[in-house]
């Protein structure tokens, strides 16, 4: 009796282990390699079966083949997708969101070293090209693009601007981190005016229950114009501090030289011996951030030199060319 029960338990245990092994193999199955467009156009995973996702920049159907340009915002350049005409879909239009799976190969064309030979094209999001405000073969002015804040980031100008800003932010933080600065998150809502640094936006609750003249914080509160005073306090405990955050100025001007909201870098250094100690930090920070942007966004910067601000390119020696 005991031997029979033990044998049954042994068989059940073996089946359970076998089932677990099978399940582990199922979950450990190799998944599809997913690449960003910037990785694909640099030749990452060349010859492998990969998947990219993005938005269609152009569609060129031909008798035997279908050509797409797909961009996901990670690069100014788009990835060319080559597919059989059998994969043509009426929903595959300019502006539509797609997922493409295929083999990443070297391109025979000189203007783009790599292309994706598509095996599957899945339209994730539709786009009516008639209603879409941006057209394939038209160059739209900035004033027209600004009318569509939810779509303007799809244009080359605004996507390049946002990539440059992202890398500039990363470069600034990297400089301060590498040089031993401690980042301080100074408050956005504050009761001080930072020694009259600028006109203030006053913060008041929008609730109807709020009595007129009664302050939410018991004292008047404003959107910050500077984090300087908070940094000065922190510099009494940390020899190097900085802040990088939103700043607000309520100056009644609509010119391009006045911003109601912007991000500002501020730093405080203790135990300085001369003004040169501070100017060196400023110069090194600008140099480091600029080098970082040029190393990671060279094509985006070139776009602005060619189409947005032509004639403003500056050589390393400080001369226009």
> Cα 91–93–94 angle (5° rounding)?
155
Structure tokens at 87: 């994969």
Give residue 108's pLDDT: 86
Q: Is the pLDDT of residue 187 over 80?
A: yes
Distance CA(307)–CA(297), nearest Å, equals: 16
Whether the CB-CB separation of 280 and 229 falls below 8 Å is answered with: no
Question: What's the whole-number mean pLDDT along residues 67-71?
Answer: 96
Give residue 137's pLDDT: 80
For 240-288, how does the pLDDT look when each residue is reduced to its tens digit (9 = 90+)?
999 999 999 888 877 777 888 999 999 999 999 999 999 999 999 999 9
Give residue 21's pLDDT: 40
Whether the CB-CB separation of 97 and 55 falls below 8 Å is answered with: yes
Task: Identify the residue whose tokens are 């501020």.
Answer: 266
Burial 123-158 (b: 16+ CB within 10 A, else e): beeebeeeebebeeeeeeeeeebeeeeeebebbebb
Give residue 215's pLDDT: 77
Instruction: Give me the phi and psi of 154, to 5 degrees please.
Output: -85, -15
Instruction: Give me the phi and psi of 65, to 5 degrees please.
Output: -130, 165
Top pLDDT among 319 and 132 is at: 132
> Cα 240–241–243 angle (5° rounding)?
155
Q: Is the pLDDT of residue 17 over 60?
A: no
Q: Is the pLDDT of residue 16 over 50?
A: no
Q: Is the pLDDT of residue 55 over 60?
A: yes
Half-sphere exposure of 300 (CA within 13 A, CB side): 25
In 3-state terms, what secondary structure has residue 142? helix
Distance CA(152)–CA(158), nearest Å, equals: 6
Lowest model confidence (mean pLDDT) among 21-35, 143-157, 253-267, 276-290: 21-35
């Amino acid at each position: 009796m005991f031997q029979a029960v033990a044998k049954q338990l042994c068989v059940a245990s073996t089946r359970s282990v076998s089932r677990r092994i099978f399940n582990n193999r199922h979950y450990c199955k190799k998944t599809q390699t997913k690449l960003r467009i910037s990785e694909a156009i640099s030749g990452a995973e060349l010859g492998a079966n990969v998947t990219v996702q993005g938005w269609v920049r152009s569609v060129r159907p031909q008798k035997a083949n279908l050509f797409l340009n797909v961009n996901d915002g990670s690069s100014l350049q788009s990835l060319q997708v080559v597919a059989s005409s059998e994969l043509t879909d009426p929903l595959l239009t300019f502006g539509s969101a797609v997922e493409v799976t295929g083999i990443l190969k070297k391109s025979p064309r000189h203007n783009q070293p790599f292309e994706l030979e598509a095996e599957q094209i899945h339209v994730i999001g539709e786009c009516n090209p008639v209603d879409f405000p941006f057209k394939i073969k038209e160059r739209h002015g900035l004033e027209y693009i600004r009318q569509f804040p939810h779509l303007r980031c799809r244009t080359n100008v605004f996507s390049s601007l946002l990539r440059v800003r992202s890398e500039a932010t990363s470069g600034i933080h990297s400089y301060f981190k590498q040089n031993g600065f401690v980042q301080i998150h100074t408050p956005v809502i504050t009761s001080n005016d930072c020694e009259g640094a600028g006109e203030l936006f006053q913060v008041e609750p929008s609730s109807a229950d709020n009595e007129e003249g009664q302050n939410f914080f018991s004292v008047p509160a404003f959107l910050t114009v500077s984090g300087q005073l908070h940094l000065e306090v922190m510099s009494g405990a940390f020899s190097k501090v900085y802040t990088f955050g939103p700043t607000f100025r309520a100056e009644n001007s609509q010119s391009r030289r006045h911003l109601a909201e912007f991000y500002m870098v501020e730093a405080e250094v203790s135990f300085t011996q001369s003004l040169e100690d501070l100017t060196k930090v400023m110069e090194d920070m600008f140099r480091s951030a600029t080098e970082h942007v040029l190393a990671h966004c060279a094509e985006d910067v070139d776009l602005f030199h060619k189409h947005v601000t032509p004639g403003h390119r500056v050589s390393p020696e400080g001369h226009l060319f």
